[in-house]
Amino acid sequence: MNTTDFDRRLIELGIELPAPAAPSFSYVPTLISGNQLFISGQLGFWKGQLLHKGKLGGAASLDDGKTAARLCGLNVLAHVHQACGGTLNRVVRCLRMTGFVSTVPDCYDHATAMNGCSELMHEVFGEQGRHTRATVGVASLAFDAVVEVDAIFEITPATALP
């Protein structure tokens, strides 16, 4: 069982979570199966605006890619928070993240850009934020986003909380 107060950790880090975005297409943003929470792909929206567009290695710099990945991570966390009843304290650990990075054909910085999201998970959850990961370069993403991230978390049952 988790004994770390991740909600307090957010405050200590000065991290504000955005409102969870409603799906733009035909899917659900979260799904709980057993003790796993699946988060659908999240883009780098902040307050309703996609902040980084284009392709890594083209219009988007590596710093843009890392920032976009961090924003995707914040949106992932917003959905975790909502799906867990308004808390991150049900998180046991971040299990898996998949990053999709829109790139020009000769750009090979996908994994470095995705570090923006992975580092956020470590900041918030400590060692419980270390996860398995895949990062894939793609030709394009919805809304011309630079990065999209989906995730899987292990969570405690809702009845396990005090």
**Tens-binned pLDDT, residue by residue, of the chain (162 aa):** 566 899 999 999 999 999 998 888 999 999 999 999 999 999 999 999 999 999 999 999 999 999 999 999 999 999 999 999 999 999 999 999 999 999 999 999 999 999 999 999 999 999 999 999 999 999 999 999 999 999 999 999 876 555
Q: Which residue segments constitute the domains of the chain, with CATH numbers given?
A: 6-17+36-147 (3.30.1330.40)
Q: Rounded to two decimals, what is the model's pTM?
A: 0.95
Q: Can you tell me which residue has the tokens 């990065």?
A: 147
CA-wise closest residue to 29 among 156, 148, 110: 148
Q: How far is CA 45 from CA 38, 127, 145, in A?
A: 19, 27, 9
The per-residue b/e assignment along 119-157, b for 16 or more CB within 10 angstroms, e otherwise, is ebbeebbeebbebebebebeeebeeebbbbbbbbbbbee
